[in-house]
Amino acid sequence: MPNKPAKPAAGREAVLVDAARTAFARSNGAWSELMAYELGRAAIAGLLAKTGLDPKVVDLVTMGTVVQDPRTSNLAREAMLAAGMPNTTPAFTTTLACISANVAATSAVDQIQLGHIDVAIAGGAESLSDPPIRLSKNLRQALVKSQKAKGAKGYLEIVKELSPEDLIPDIPSAAEFSTGLTMGESCERFAKRVGVSRRESDEFAARSHVLAARAWKEGRYADEVVAVPVPPKMELVKEDDGPRGDTTVETLATLRPAFDKQFGLITAGSSSFLTDGGSAVLFVAKERCDQLGLKARAIVRDYVYAAGDPLEELLAGPALSVPRLLERNGIAARDVGVWEIHEAFAAQVVANLKLLADKKFLEERVGVRVAPIEVPLDRINPWGGSLSIGHPFGATGGRLLSTASRRLQVTGERWAVVTGCAAGGHGSAILLENPHASR
Amino acid sequence: MTSSTTSSTTTTSSKKSGEGAPVNGQQHGAAEALTLKVVDNVAVITIDVPGEKQNTLSEKTKHGFKVCFERVAADPAIEGAVLISGKPDFIAGADISMIQTRKSAAEVERLSRELQQQLFLLEQSSKPIVAAISGACMGGGLEIALACHYRIATDHPKTVLSLPEVMLGLLPGGGGTQRLPALVGIQAALDMMLTGKNVRAKKAKRMGLVDAVTVPYGLEDAAVTTCKRLIMGELSRQEPKKKLPERAAEAALEDNPAGRAILFRQARQMVMEKTGGLYPAPLAIIDVVEAGTGKGPEAGYGEESRRFGELVMSKEAAALMTLFFAQTALKKNRFGKAATPLDTLGLLGAGLMGAGIAEVTVQKGVRVLLKDVSAEALARGQKTIWSDLDKRVRSHAMSPFERDRTFSGVVPKTDYRGFDKCELVIEAVFEDLALKHKIIREIEDHVRTDCVVASNTSALPITKLAEASKRPHNIIGMHYFSPVPKMPLLEIIVHKGTAKEAKALAVDVGIRQGKTVIVVNDGPGFYTSRILGPLMDEAAQCALEGVALHLIDHAMRQWGFPVGPITLLDEVGIDVAAHVSKDMAPFFEPRFGPRDRSALEAMVKEGFTGRKGGKGFFMYEKHKQSPVEKARAIVEKAMGAGKKDKPYNPGALAILERHGVKPGSKKDVDERELQERIGLRMVNEAVQCLQDGILEGPVDGDAGAVFGLGFPPMTGGPFRYVDAVGASTVVSTLERFAARYGKRFKPAELLVDQAKSGKRFHAKG
């Protein structure tokens, strides 16, 4: 039975005021010339531009990122400085795989609730267009040694120890360090364990694309995605390039499995793809809103981080974190009108939904006493998700928070849950309340 | 050549006059400009002119230098010296008023000789002297540093070295023309002296102008340590390591008489191309450098003093110096400090003007909210800003990261959220009264009640604009010139009800943007557009008479304008010109006669809007050069071909022809008359503006015409021009033209009064 931390004491209220993100673009596409911090910069600058907020009032910037460029290891700092924010505002970078931005957001929220700060920008950025590819270990060591080498003979000694295959670069893999399994392999294992079918997986994936394309058409993202001019030509990038509105279950059914060629059910069409993008969310102490002329979209009520077995539960984050969040806030699943769930793989979302509805799992594995959590499909990601919009690892959390808060405004619902899974077997669940709820 | 009073004191005997801690040596009292203290065996001479922001060389400092360096020479306990400033800047140059008050060339020549002598003593001192440079090191300040044995500069962003005398119509008269070429080579030296440009520390080190660069802190310690090492013989000045191509070029062009002959010929040719030979100083600089390198130092230093004396007495230098003084005077805000200095600027319209204003503002650390109708319109403005900043990156004036940070200070907006923080909003939308009225009302709905609302307009009356305002006391005109980052003038227009606070803020912003700011009263076309009107009108009359367009341009360039009026029309934009001309018609036509604007309007209709549209009277479209064309251009340039005239736009000529204008049909053109007709109409209108109370005084009028419209700088401006030529001469010329060409040449009453009374606009000097 895992330990169950108590709900934190009520402090000041931290509210989500506004959010912005860059368009999410397939890697090596629209953003290929930019470093990740520049995407963070664009998101921050976009947020400051749309709100007209004076950057001097911001007390803290936090940003998530996963695949770090060693030159900008504190990405948040470079992003906010380049966005023209004052150098007197501190900034730090968080990393927790695909929920890195969630950590950035909840860290900022903590500081507001505790009264340390009043205003924070939290988000994330990722570029997978230019991953840091390293030299082989032998070559790296040789290079370090060569700095101390004396004369041509010294160099020759070092070169002699190298073999031709040492020249092959060390390309980072998406495999879990502790298990050696890639995300896709792990998800195959998970889907089969929970009992997800190929059909269920393809249906969920097709739905994501159709809904995202429709949401764009209906102008749902006009307020969220900022147009970013890319130097030197300053051509504007302003739309996600992932959603394919003509996707059908039938077309997806023709695709070959991507990870387990023989027995697998996950295809490229039902997986999120490598994406570049940045997001930024503005959090403010509720009591400062009026003074700054800002309006709260959502109050951040509570959040839960959970973790499980990196082999069997690598992608089970939502099932591990959501039940505890609902239990300790005394909220029934049916009262939550807005669900934003990160879609790493279609099968992963389906598996998590199955686990959430599984009384035995909730009681024995998560250790909560709540009714099985049945989430109606129409409350989940109705404006598309990571499968279609894309998934820049460090930035996705910002997108989910933004969309959830806007959905609260559009629907008038009271509660929203934002949840996702992350490498290492982590889960994150954040509870938002609509201060202007109509139901 | 030099006296030998300094030489003999070789100090082998003494050991430290004051043990341990720095000892204050001979103090000259608090009011002295130079003080000397001895640190171990090194004299630290600090220049700190009391009561001044910057050190300048004057009679006071002359004495101080003499006393200090005599002590250095005579005191056996002193084995070397450091020259350092007690102010943020090193030495900003010589006090110009000291030179300006001299009566004859011979007197000035003597002054230059004295300075040269003093610096010879320095140069020939057997005790090493180190110049410790931070901040501006200009003119005479750099000449002193050049005479020292070793130069250390800090990498502070404000550390710049330059010889800007040429900008005042002068040459460096303290040995600079001789020592600089010897130190950095003839080509680099000419480049510095002919342009007056600033050299930053890093570049100075690369070219050998300074010997070491250090951080902005601990300069004195660094200099003292260096001086000690020079004394001990542990360190000596090294020539900078230059790259092979540079060395080869020096060997070919500088180290032999034939090469030098080519070099000086090219330099003269370039100067003639750029100045039309209207300015004596650059040519004198080349002569003096040539004398020094060809005939030896004696001839060189002699020629430097002689030509310096001549130049100081020249009318060109007098005019340029008064302009310099005017510019300095206009850097002071006569309306007092702004109540709340600008922190956030709102800017409406991301066109060329809006983007330009944003660019010069954001670089001063002010956040700019730039509003336009769409992300696309904003991106066009952002592109202008980004590429201008990127040019600075390419010239190493800023890092790519600084570029990005600065760029982010311009916040693109499509709504008014955030405008409540603005202290000032400038609208730069299209010149249309109804549109501007609508915009002003819109702005006032979104800003604080104390926010100043400025209109960037070249002709719309501010009084009329203020009619739409709820708070007319906040309304002011800020007339910028295109391209904003390059044009030095800002014309601020006030209407009767404009509050003092609004004036103070607008002037403060202009000064912070680095502009020369004139404040004028409201009236049709204010000052600059109004005096441009008659000049353009006369150029058009000449064209109507059949004078070829390029001849008109050429004549006015020869008169001293940087661009001719026809080209200027293309630069301003034919559409803008047509618009302004129509607005101004009711005002001008009673005096000048009816004018037909249909040709201009036809050009606009055809899309011939000038340079911005690629076609105006001339063609500007860049077509891709074929390799053959490129090669030909290179060969022609190498053979010394001058700049070619821009090709005419045949479409524009066809329109003119349809309207009965045949430029080029008139064959016998009297260039001088052309110049006087066109030029004097501007001068006459300028005087009219002073008479009508548009201008507060002639200083504003001179600065406005020169810095805004390019009125020949070597005249010092229209009012200086009248003073120099004589009002009666100007009046009689105008009357002659009036008899021949009509009432548009009627001299202004004020001008006639001046002619009768013999009064001048400016006090003599």
Q: Do B413 and A232 touch (CB under 8 A)?
A: no
Tell me the three state secondary structure of residue A130.
coil
Q: Among the three residues B507, B527, B547, which one is the final residue of a domain in this structure?
A: B527
Q: How far is A145 from chain B (nearest CA, A)?
A: 31
Same domain, B283 and B165: yes
Tell me which fold the domain A14-129+272-433 belongs to: Peroxisomal Thiolase; Chain A, domain 1 (3.40.47)
Choose, from A98, A187, A289, A342, the residue flagged as catalytic: A98
Q: Which residues of B touch A48 (CB under 8 A)?
A: 411
Does B399 fall in a domain? yes
**ipTM given for this complex:** 0.92
> Which residue in chain A is spatially nearest to B413 when comparing CA positions?
A49
Of B379, B405, B420, the CB nearest to A229: B379
pLDDT in tens, A88-126: 999 999 999 999 999 999 999 999 999 999 999 999 999
For residue B560, the domain's CATH number is 1.10.1040.50
Q: Whole-number mean pLDDT of chain A? A: 94
B219, pLDDT greater than 80: yes
B613, pLDDT greater than 90: no
Q: How far is A267 from chain B (nearest CA, A)?
A: 38
- Work out the pLDDT band at A4, boundaries 50, 70, 90: low
* Rounded average pLDDT over B677-683: 98
**d(C-alpha B585, C-alpha A297), whole Å:** 56
The predicted pLDDT at position B18 comes to 36
Hey, is the C-beta of A230 within 8 angstroms of any chain B C-beta? no
Q: Do B376 and A82 touch (CB under 8 A)?
A: no
Instruction: Name which of B505, B348, B526 is nearest B430 in CA terms.
Output: B348
Share of chain A above pLDDT 90, in %: 86
**d(C-alpha B563, C-alpha B557), whole Å:** 6
Does B10 fall in a domain? no
A187 is catalytic: no
Q: Under the phi-then-psi rule, with left for phi > 0, alpha for psi from -120 to 50, and beta for the rest, what region is B20? A: left
Tokens (6 digits) for B352: 């060329």
Q: Which residues of B touch A41 (CB under 8 A)?
A: 404, 408
B419, pLDDT greater than 60: yes
Of A49, A82, A227, the CB nearest to B405: A82
B765, pLDDT greater than 60: no
- Work out the pLDDT band at B538, boundaries 50, 70, 90: very high
B96, pLDDT greater than 90: no
- Work out the pLDDT band at B637, boundaries 50, 70, 90: low
Same domain, B540 and B655: yes
Does B507 fall in a domain? yes
Of B390, B407, B417, the CB nearest to A51: B417
Q: Which domain holds residue B732?
A: 529-693+726-757
The residue type found at B208 is G
The residue type found at B78 is I
Choose, from B165, B316, B491, B571, the residue flagged as catalytic: B491
pLDDT in tens, B113-145: 999 999 999 999 999 999 999 999 999 999 999
- Work out the pLDDT band at B636, boundaries 50, 70, 90: low
Counting the structural domains of chain B, the total is 3
Q: Whole-number mean pLDDT of chain B? A: 91
> Which residue in chain B is spatially nearest to A45 when comparing CA positions?
B408
A289 is catalytic: no
- Long-range residue pairs from B96-105, CB within 8 A, at least 24 positions apart, any chain: B96/B168, B96/B321, B96/B324, B96/B325, B98/B57, B98/B58, B98/B59, B99/B170, B99/B312, B100/B312, B100/B318, B100/B321, B100/B765, B102/B312, B104/B309, B104/B313, B105/B309, B105/B310, B105/B312, B105/B313
Q: Of A234, A236, A239, A282, which to mutate for an interface test with B (greatest number of B Cβ within 10 Å)?
A: A234
Q: Do A233 and B383 touch (CB under 8 A)?
A: yes
Q: Do B411 and A52 touch (CB under 8 A)?
A: yes
Does B2 fall in a domain? no
The predicted pLDDT at position A7 comes to 65
Domain boundaries, chain A: 14-129+272-433
* Rounded average pLDDT over B97-124: 92
Which DSSP state fits B168?
G
Q: How far is A390 from chain B (nearest CA, A)?
A: 24
- Work out the pLDDT band at B97, boundaries 50, 70, 90: confident
Same domain, B502 and B544: no
Q: Do A229 and B406 touch (CB under 8 A)?
A: no
Same domain, B505 and B608: no
* Rounded average pLDDT over A359-379: 96
Does B709 fall in a domain? no
- Work out the pLDDT band at A1, boundaries 50, 70, 90: very low
For residue B459, the domain's CATH number is 3.40.50.720
The predicted pLDDT at position A9 comes to 62
Q: Among the three residues B527, B550, B581, which one is the final residue of a domain in this structure?
A: B527
A391 is catalytic: yes
Hey, is the C-beta of A50 within 8 angstroms of any chain B C-beta? yes
The predicted pLDDT at position B729 comes to 97
The burial of B717, by beta-carbon neighbours within 10 Å (0-12 exposed, 13-18 middle, 19 or more buried), is given as buried
B703, pLDDT greater than 90: yes
The answer, as to whether pTM is greater than 0.95, is no
The predicted pLDDT at position B13 comes to 33
Residues whose CB falls within 8 Å of the CB of residue B11, separated by 6 or more in sequence, listed in order = B41, B76, B77, B78, B79, B127
The residue type found at A303 is Y
Does B325 fall in a domain? no
Same domain, B515 and B609: no
* Rounded average pLDDT over A300-311: 97
The predicted pLDDT at position A5 comes to 60
The predicted pLDDT at position B21 comes to 32
Same domain, B209 and B305: yes
The predicted pLDDT at position B622 comes to 67
pLDDT in tens, A335-344: 999 999 999 9
B627, pLDDT greater than 80: no
- Work out the pLDDT band at B9, boundaries 50, 70, 90: very low
- Work out the pLDDT band at B633, boundaries 50, 70, 90: low
Q: Do A51 and B418 touch (CB under 8 A)?
A: yes
Same domain, B508 and B556: no
B1, pLDDT greater than 80: no
Tell me the three state secondary structure of residue A3.
coil
Task: Compute CA distances B222 → B20, B132, B731, B732, whole Å.
Answer: 18, 9, 64, 66
**d(C-alpha B534, C-alpha B523), whole Å:** 15
Of B367, B375, B413, the CB nearest to A236: B375
Whether the Cβ atoms of residue B574 and residue B618 lie closer than 8 Å to each other: no
Torsion of CA B182, B184, B187, B193, to 10 degrees: -90
Q: Do B387 and A83 touch (CB under 8 A)?
A: no
pLDDT in tens, A21-37: 999 999 999 999 999 99
The predicted pLDDT at position B588 comes to 94
> Which residue in chain B is spatially nearest to A55 when comparing CA positions?
B367
Q: Among the three residues B527, B552, B583, which one is the final residue of a domain in this structure?
A: B527
Same domain, B553 and B649: yes
Does B366 fall in a domain? yes
Same domain, B624 and B663: yes
Of A48, A54, A236, the CB nearest to B376: A236
Does B567 fall in a domain? yes
Same domain, B520 and B536: no
Q: Do B420 and A293 touch (CB under 8 A)?
A: yes
* Rounded average pLDDT over B721-750: 96
B641, pLDDT greater than 80: no
Q: Of B378, B411, B415, B416, which to mutate for an interface test with A (greatest number of A Cβ within 10 Å)?
A: B411
Of B367, B379, B390, the CB nearest to A236: B379
CB pairs under 8 A between A and B: 69
* Rounded average pLDDT over B715-737: 96
